[in-house]
Structure 1
Amino acid sequence: METINQIIEKLDLEANLTLEEIPQIDLYMDQVIQLFEKTFAESKRNDSEKVLTKTMINNYAKGKLIFPIRNKKYSKEHLILISLIYQLKAALSINDIKTTLDGINKKILNNEIDLDSFYNSYLNLAKKNVADFNEDIDKRVVEVKEEIGDGQVDKSHYLEHVLMIASLVHMSSLYRRVAEKLVDEMTIEK
C-alpha cells in the first residue's frame, strides 16, 4: 500500500474556500461556480465530476439551505454557506444539512452571528482534522499490514487494498453516524 500517500497527496485535502479568496463584492451564479471549481478542482474524483452546478445552487435556494438571494447575486455569506454545504453533503443528507444550517441562516438574517469568525473556526478545525487524518492513515496502513501478515495465506496487495478500503469506509460510517445523531438532537431541541 505504498501508493496510499501518493493518493492522499493528490486529494488536496486542505482545499477550502478561505475568507481571503471570497471577493468583497456579490457574485453572479456563474462566478460562484467558477470560484468553487477553481478552489476544489483537485478534490474531484474525476474530470467529468462537477463541484457545483446551477441546479445544485438552485436546489439549495429552493430547499432553504441558504437564505434568499438578492438580485441574482450571491453575497460573501452565501458563499460561506455554500462552502459548508459542499463539505457537509459528503456525509449528510440534504435534509440533515438544512437542519444543521437553519439556525445559522436565521442568525445571518437577524445579524446575530459573526459568520467570518465562525467560518474561520471551521477552517482551523478542518486544518487540524487533515493533520489528524494523515497520522491516522499511517497507523491504519500499519494495522492492515499486520492483519494481513498475521493470518492470511494470500498476502496479496489486493487483499491489503480491500481491507484498507473496508477499514476506511467503516471509520467514515462511524463518524457519519455520530454526526447524524447530533443532527437528530438538533431536531428534537426544536
Structure 2
Amino acid sequence: MENIHEFIQELGLENNITLEDIPDIDLYMDQVIQLFENKFSGSKRDSNDKVLTKTMINNYAKGKLFIPIKNKKYAKEHLILISLIYQLKGALSINDIKVTLDGVNNDFLKGRVDLEELYNSYLHLATINVNNFKQDFVSRASESSNEVSQWNHKGSEPLNDVLLIASLVNISNIYRRAAEKLVDQLVDQDIPSTKKG
C-alpha cells in the first residue's frame, strides 16, 4: 500500500447524514433517495450500485423498522431512522435491525426519546470511531507488513494486502458478533416490543 493516508481518505468514512443535512420540511421518497445518493455516492464500490432504493424503503416500512409515515412524506425522524438503518445493515440482518430499533420507535411514539439527541450522540461516537480506525488501520497495515517481512521467502505486495484483508475481516467479524450478542440481550430483556415471534 503506497500511501496509506490517501487510501483512508478515499474510504469516505466521515460521510454521514447530519441533522443539518436534513431539511425541516417533510420529503417525498424520491427526495429521500436523492439525499442519501448525494451524501454516500462517493462510498459506493461500483458506480452502478444504489445507495437506497424505493424497494429498500418500502421493505423497511413493511418490516416496521421505522415509525409509520404520513401522506407519503418522510419527516426528519424518518430520515434519522433510515440513516441508522443504512449504517446498521452493513453488519446486521434486517431482523436484528428491527429488534435493535423497536424500542427506539416505540419510545419515540410515546414521547420518551428524542431522536435528534440519540442521532447526535451516534454521530459523535461515529466521529470517534473513525479517528480510532485511522490510527488502528495504520497499525494493522504495519503489522501485516512486518509479518510478511519475516517470511523466509520474499512476499509480494499482493500477499501483504491479502494478509491485511484477512486481519480486517477478522476484526470486523469480532465486532459484528459482539453487536449480535447485544441484539440477543435486547430480546432477552423481556421488552415486549423486541420479543421475537
- Residue 79 of structure 1 corresponds to 79
**Structure 2 CA distance for aligned equivalents of residues 129 and 155 of structure 1:** 32
Letter in 2 for 1:136: D
**Structure 2 CA distance for aligned equivalents of residues 110 and 167 of structure 1:** 44
CA shift, 1:152, in A, is 4.6
Q: TM-score, normalised by structure 1?
A: 0.97
- Residue 24 of structure 1 corresponds to 24
CA shift, 1:3, in A, is 4.3
> What's the C-alpha RMSD, in Å, of the aligned pairs?
0.9
- Residue 186 of structure 1 corresponds to 186
**Residue 163 (str. 1) matches residue 143 (str. 2):** no
CA shift, 1:52, in A, is 0.3
Pairs aligned (count): 190
**Residue 131 (str. 1) matches residue 131 (str. 2):** yes
Change (3 A) 1:152 1:68: farther
5 Å matches for 1:1-190?
1-190=1-190
Q: TM-score, normalised by structure 2?
A: 0.94
Letter in 2 for 1:50: K
* Segments ≥4 residues shifted beyond 3 Å: none
CA shift, 1:7, in A, is 2.6
Q: Deviations over 1:8-47 (max 9, x none)?
A: 2112101000001100011000000000000111111110
Letter in 2 for 1:11: L
Mark the runs of 5 or more structure 2 residues left unpaired by the alignment: 191-197
Identity %: 61
**Structure 2 CA distance for aligned equivalents of residues 172 and 152 of structure 1:** 29
Mark the runs of 5 or more structure 1 residues left unpaired by the alignment: none
**Structure 1 CA distance for aligned equivalents of residues 114 and 99 of structure 2:** 20
CA shift, 1:90, in A, is 0.3
Q: Deviations over 1:52-86 (max 9, x none)?
A: 00000000000000111110000100000000000
